[in-house]
Amino acid sequence: MIKLELDRKKRSLFVKEPSDVSSLQNGFYGQMKRGIIHLTPEEALYVMDIRNGRCYDEAGNEHRFNEVASLFLRNRKLLARYLTYKDYRDKGLIPRPVAEAEGNYGRTVLKRYASSDFKLDSFSFDGLFFPNDLLTLVDDETVGKELYERYWIGQFGTYKAAHRGRLSKYDIYETIFLLKHGSLHLKNVKLADVEKAAHKRIKFFSDMYLVYEDWRRRGYVIKTGFKFGTHFRIYFPGASPVRSEEEWMHSKHVIHVFPRKNKLIISEWARAIRVAHSVKKTFILAIPGKKSPIKVNLKKPRLDFLLYHRKSGGIETPKDGSPKYLMYSLTEDEYIGGEGLAEALAECKHFGLEMLMAISDRESSVTYYVIKEIELPGSEYEYYEIEWVQP
C-alpha cells in the first residue's frame, strides 16, 4: 500500500512515507521537493488505480478514486490524459509532465521525398464536362493516349484495359489542371463553372486541389485514392501506366487532405489511417496552405506528456536517457482540427521530438500513431507520414 496525502484546499497530492517515496522515485513518479514527492493528478490516479495507493486528507478521511478525480473534473480532457498515461505506464514505459521538456533533443526524423520538375507539353484539344458527375470526356484518341501514357493524366480506354475503347476520362482535379496548364478547351462550360460545380460538391475543394497540384508539379502521378479509402494515391516521379511490369507501378503512398479549417471527429480521422494500414500503404497527411510560423507557448503546451521509450536491452529513463516523443492524448469522440494539429506538430519540432498520438477508445483501449515530417523539396505545404505503432 502506498499512502497518498491530499491537501483539499490546494488540490495537491503528495507522498511522505520514506518507503513510498523511494518506491515512487524508482518508478519516476512525481517531483521530489525536500523529501516529499508531489504528484500530478494523472500520477496520483494511476498510483491509486494500479499501485494500490490509498488517499487520505488532513483529517485522516479516506478518499476513493472518484472522489480524488472529481477534484480535477474541470481539467481539460482529464480522462483522455489519464487513460493514455496509464496505458503507456502499463507497457513499462515512462511518461513525464510535458513541462519538463527543454532544448532540442534532436530525435526528429525528416522523411525526404524525391522531387523533379514537371513540364507538360502544350496540347490543344476539346472535351465535354459532365457537371453532375464531375468528369470530363475527351474523344480525341491521339491526345488522350499521349497524355495517359506520358503523364498518366486521365484514364485512356478502360481502367486496367487501356486498349478497350478510345475515350479519355479526366477527373475534376485533372480537368482543372489541364484547363490551367494544358490547353484543354471545354465545349460546354468555362473554368469558373467547373470550379463552381466542384466547390458545390466537394468540401474544402480548394485545399484538395492545392494538394493535387503541388504533387503534380513535383513530378508525381496523383490519382484517386478511393480504393484505399483516402483522397489520393501517388506514384513517384517516373511512374507510367504503360510499364505495368515494373515494381513502382504499384502505388505505395496515399494522401489524406486535412484542411486547416476542418475539424474531424477522431474516429473518422483514424478510419482513414486504418484503411491505408490494412492495404499496406504509407499514409500521408497533407495540411495545405502556407506553413504556420512556429508558435510555441511553453506555459500552455498543446501536448500532454514527455515520453521516454525503449533502448536496446531496456527502457530509457529521465535518469540516464532522453525522451523520444511528445504524447498527444485523445479519445475517439474528440475533435481534431487541421490548424490545431499543425500547431501541436510545430511544438514537437521545437523540441526535436516526434509526436506520438495516443487515442483511447470508448473501452479505454489505446491506439498509437507516430507522426513524422516529410520534406518535399519545393513545396510550401506541410506533409506528414502517419504510422500505426505499438510502442
311 vs 315: CA distance, rounded Å: 5
Q: Is 49 in the site for a second copy (CB under 8 A)?
A: yes
336: contact with a second copy by CB under 8 A: no
For residue 69, state whether it binds a second copy (rule: CB under 8 A): yes
Shortest Å, Cβ 188 to a second copy = 7
Binding-site string for a second copy from residue 258 to residue 287, where x marks contact by CB under 8 A and - marks none: -------x-xx-xxx-xx--xx--------
Q: Which of 119, 227, 261, 263 binds a second copy (CB under 8 A)?
A: 227
138 contacts a second copy (rule: CB under 8 A): yes
- Establish if 164 lies at the interface with a second copy (CB under 8 A): yes
Q: How far apart are CA 297 and CA 299, in angstroms?
A: 5
State the catalytic residue, choosing from 250, 263, 291, 319.
Answer: 250
The contact mask relative to a second copy for 347-366 (x = CB under 8 A, - = no) is ------------x-xxxxxx
Q: Is residue 167 part of the contact set for a second copy (CB under 8 A)? A: yes
193 near a second copy (CB under 8 A): no
Residue 281 falls in the annotated catalytic set? yes
Q: Which of 32, 224, 319, 378 touches a second copy (CB under 8 A)? A: 224
Q: Which stretch binds a second copy (CB under 8 A): 102-110, 124-132, 304-312, 339-347?
A: 124-132
Residue 161 C-beta: closest distance to a second copy, Å: 8
Interface residues for a second copy in 4-33 (CB under 8 A)?
none
Residue with Cβ nearer a second copy (71 or 296): 71
Does 171 sit near a second copy (CB under 8 A)? yes
Residue 16 annotated among the catalytic residues of the structure: no
Q: Which is nearer to a second copy, 299 or 362 (CB)?
A: 362
Shortest Å distance, C-beta 65 to a second copy: 4
**Is residue 332 close enough to count as binding a second copy by CB under 8 A?**
yes
In the complex, what is the shortest distance from the CB of residue 130 to a second copy, in angstroms, rounded to a whole number? 5
d(CA 27, CA 22): 9
If binding is defined by CB under 8 A, does position 66 make contact with a second copy?
Answer: yes
- Out of 5, 17, 57, 139, point to the residue binding a second copy (CB under 8 A): 139
Query: 235 catalytic, yes or no?
Result: yes
Q: Does residue 2 bind a second copy (CB under 8 A)?
A: no
By DSSP bridging, strand 282-287 and strand 253-257 are parallel
Q: Decide if residue 53 touches a second copy (CB under 8 A).
A: no
- What residues act catalytically? 235, 250, 281
